[in-house]
Amino acid sequence: MNRKDFIKTAAIVGTGISLLPAFSLAIPQDQFTRDQLIGKGNPDITGDSYTSTMHIATAKALAQMSVAAQAEGIEIEVVSAYRSFDRQKQIFEGKYKRFTGQGLSPMEAIEKIIAYSTIPGTSRHHWGTDLDLIDANAPRPESVLQERHYHGKGPFCKFKEWMDKHSESFGFFEVYTNNANRKGFAYEPWHFSYAPVAKPMLQAYKKLDVKSILAAESILGHEHFTDEFITKYRKENILDINPQLLL
């Protein structure tokens, strides 16, 4: 983000002065290390629980947005925030073992896993900028992160409507939008990204060699990640997102 854009964003958020230290930690983009980009440690991550651990700038902007939402009777609740590489590795490898154990080929298992989960080292949740959100004031369905809860007569419709109108002014953008032409991960009306930090992180992430990372980290099944597979995954699952987060 250049200086002019920063001032613009800060003015919109209305907390330019308090956010300044966090921004200066986050940029310039070439200061992101490989480890920060793949969820293996980041000094800017703060919080003490699964749902409160996130980038310090994300936390500040979320606090601002939550206050504004509360005034409209919406209680923004974080269901998932920062997720480490090791946690994502556990999830991925657990499913890989289960699916191959059920007789799927390694490639079939990988395809089935990435319909809903990311490959460790490639999740936006590694950055501390991305949050899965619901409205704690609405009746709580059994499984909260379902598209139907955010549409029609779903409990999170009021939240969704409010977020559509206001979240971007606080820096939060939907990532996996409801666009029929979009490939990669399915529509996720609950998943928001704090753009002022996530955008430069994505630009830095794009420079990483995903295939060699997966090999170096000995992810179970990595020998089946062909160049063709990685190219498609990068194009669709990592980069076919809300275009507002791409530049």
Write out the residues near Zn ion by the rule CB under 5 A: 132, 191
Contact 130, 191 (CB under 8 A): yes
Cβ 205 to Zn ion shortest distance, Å? 16
By beta-carbon proximity to Zn ion, the closer residue of 36 and 129 is 129
**Shortest CA distance to 131 belongs to which of 44, 190, 91?**
190
- In the numeric block, the tokens 């969820």 are attached to 39
By beta-carbon proximity to Zn ion, the closer residue of 23 and 92 is 92
By beta-carbon proximity to Zn ion, the closer residue of 10 and 65 is 65
Cβ 80 to Zn ion shortest distance, Å? 6
- Residue nearest Zn ion, Cβ-based: 191
* Residue 75 to residues 142, 160, 162, Cα–Cα distance (Å): 18, 12, 11
By beta-carbon proximity to Zn ion, the closer residue of 44 and 130 is 130
Contact 19, 44 (CB under 8 A): no
Cβ 81 to Zn ion shortest distance, Å? 9
Cβ 191 to Zn ion shortest distance, Å? 4
By beta-carbon proximity to Zn ion, the closer residue of 149 and 191 is 191
Cβ 171 to Zn ion shortest distance, Å? 17
Q: How far apart are CA 130 and CA 108, in angstroms?
A: 28
Q: How far apart are CA 193 and CA 67, in angstroms?
A: 18
Residues in the chain: 247
